[in-house]
Amino acid sequence: MKAPPFAYVRPATLDDVLAELAGGDAKVLAGGQSLVPVLAMRLGRPATLVDITAVPELGDLENTAGGLRVGAAVRQRTVERSAQARGVPLIRMAMPFVGHRELRSRGTVVGSLAHADPAAELPAVASCLDAMIEIAGPAGRRTVPAGEFFAGAMTTVAGAEDLVVAATFPPARAGEGFGFAEIARRHGDFALAGVATRVRVAADGAVTHARLTGFGVSDRPVTRDVTALLAAHPDEAQLRPETARIAAEVVDTGGDAHGSTGYRRRLLGVLAARELAGALRRARRAEQEVAA
Ligand SMILES: Cc1cc2nc3c(=O)[nH]c(=O)nc-3n(C[C@H](O)[C@H](O)[C@H](O)COP(=O)(O)OP(=O)(O)OC[C@H]3O[C@@H](n4cnc5c(N)ncnc54)[C@H](O)[C@@H]3O)c2cc1C
């Protein structure tokens, strides 16, 4: 099928982008890797596509006091290859799983967050790290933590007249380790289930912070603080029954042709134990390197 007719504009300033979005019948066009298929399948009929790639400030990728700030027009592949992103290991661990390299050379990091596919990797990374998301709209600018940004499947708190301007991912602190894994039918497919983990240890190796985000298992990324659990069960085998219990609680995606709810629960439980134990090992190694 062909896309329904639409007007195409490519403003050069943020104000002009917002003016084009006013009225709510226009859609932001970032990398087009999700929007164009949606149009081709006639699942959406916006009157106007507002291409944001000519606005200079939206192309900024920079390290700020809050972390790696990724502008709305920055491509996934740019982040994947950039030296600036080295300070955020989780984003670099997840990026190879986001579709294929060809898609990442067009798709944007912020576009993936705005699209809010429950099985997408970058929303899970943003949730696990508690990235801060900047939104501009008719009411001005606001910044929301990723934990409040995702409102449901393909839905965020950004309205139809809003532009997501940038996302800032906090850098790794001393004594932190990360984990990321997913199971998909083929590499590049959306995940059947996946996890992102973040663990911090003190100088003596004791766990001081642990977070687990599951994706592909509910209508949005699901994050749990598992500090006490990992401190009590630092070994993968010990963790398994605990993460299986969490998986039973958080996985509510209904079964489909690719896997049942029970199968997704099992995947999440196994991956979570593995990636928490792995992140803990990496955190302890990072702490020892600082001490040496
Ligand atoms: C075959 C295939 C496989 C894929 N596999 C994966 C995968 O495994 N994992 C994965 O995560 N993704 C996957 N994708 C999606 C891809 O990574 C997209 O790049 C991403 O989801 C959206 O980014 P984009 O920049 O292309 O956004 P677009 O397609 O331009 O936009 C997507 C949606 O977000 C809105 N939007 C975009 N930017 C903004 C903004 N700044 N403010 C407000 N709204 C905005 C658009 O209006 C649109 O509704 C796949 C796509 C294809 C075609």
Which of 10, 58, 115 most suits a substitution to test ligand 1, by most atoms within 8 Å of the C-beta? 115
Residue 207 within a domain? yes
Q: Name the pTM for this structure.
A: 0.97
Q: Report the Cα 190 to chain-centroid distance in Å.
A: 13
The domain that contains 214 carries what CATH number? 3.30.390.50
Residue ID of nearest Cα to ligand 1 atom 5: 99
Domain span including residue 234: 176-291
Residue 114 within a domain? no
Mean pLDDT (whole number) for 269-287: 97
Residue 265 within a domain? yes
Query: 199-247, pLDDT tens digit by residue?
Result: 999 999 999 999 999 999 999 999 999 999 999 999 999 999 999 999 9
For the cut 80, the answer to whether the pLDDT of residue 197 exceeds it is yes
Residue 74 within a domain? no
**Which DSSP string corresponds to 125-168?**
HHHHHT-EEEEEETTEEEEEEHHHHEEETTEES--TT-EEEEEE
Residue 263 within a domain? yes
- pLDDT at residue 1 in the model: 75
Dist. CA 124 → ligand 1 center (Å)? 14
Give residue ranges with CB within 6 A of ligand 1: 27-35, 37, 72, 98-99, 103, 107-108, 110-112, 114-115, 117, 120-122, 158, 163-164, 188-190
**Ligand 1 atom closest to residue 44's alpha carbon, by position in its atom list:** 49
Dist. CA 35 → ligand 1 center (Å)? 7
Query: 105-160, pLDDT tens digit by residue?
Result: 999 999 999 999 999 999 999 999 999 999 999 999 999 999 999 999 999 999 99
Confidence class of residue 90 from pLDDT cuts 50, 70 and 90? very high
Calpha distance 29→10 (Å, rounded)? 9
Number of domains in the chain: 1
Calpha distance 109→195 (Å, rounded)? 18
